[in-house]
Amino acid sequence: MNLSAVVFPLLFALFAVISVTAMLLVWGLRRKVAEQERRHEALINVLRNEILAMNSASVGVGKRVQQVERKLNITAEKQQELENRDPGALAYNQAAKLMEMGADVDDLVSSCGIARPEAELMALLHREVRSTPSLESGR
């Protein structure tokens, strides 16, 4: 019997087994890759939806901040108008601050433009507030 007649079919069978095994491995790996690709696509879709939701929320927050800013500007303008409307109240506020800093009646009359009796009344009230501990702690 010829040696090549035995070896050639054995080599052919070995090659066939190796080829089939390699094809099965490739097929299994392709299936795993396809499954991972499906998972990654699903994850990408989830992340895309989350980003869209965050963008929508950011736009909503931005609009709300703009509304609050507009209201704040309107309120500041109204407050300025109110302060400009009643100059007497401004003088009394300034006089009260000066009194807290230790100004006397003559300082109030000259600095704030209020009448002397009003300045004396403010000084009297300020002394009363400072001498009464319960009123001082309530401020």
| Residue 15: predicted pLDDT | 95
Q: Which two tokens stand for residue 136?
A: 């001082």
pLDDT tens-digit readout, 61-120? 999 999 999 999 999 998 887 766 665 566 778 888 888 888 888 888 888 878 889 888
Helices assigned H by DSSP within the chain: 3-85, 87-100, 105-112, 116-131, 133-137
d(CA 116, CA 99): 14
Nearest CA among 130, 138, 108, 112 for reference residue 121: 108
% of the chain beyond a pLDDT of 70: 88
User: Considering the entire predicted model, what is its pTM?
Assistant: 0.42
Examine the pLDDT at 139 and tell me if it is beyond 60: no
| Residue 93: predicted pLDDT | 80
CB atoms within 10 A of CB 126: 16
State the Cα angle at 101 between 125 and 123, rounded to 5°: 20
Examine the pLDDT at 19 and tell me if it is beyond 90: yes
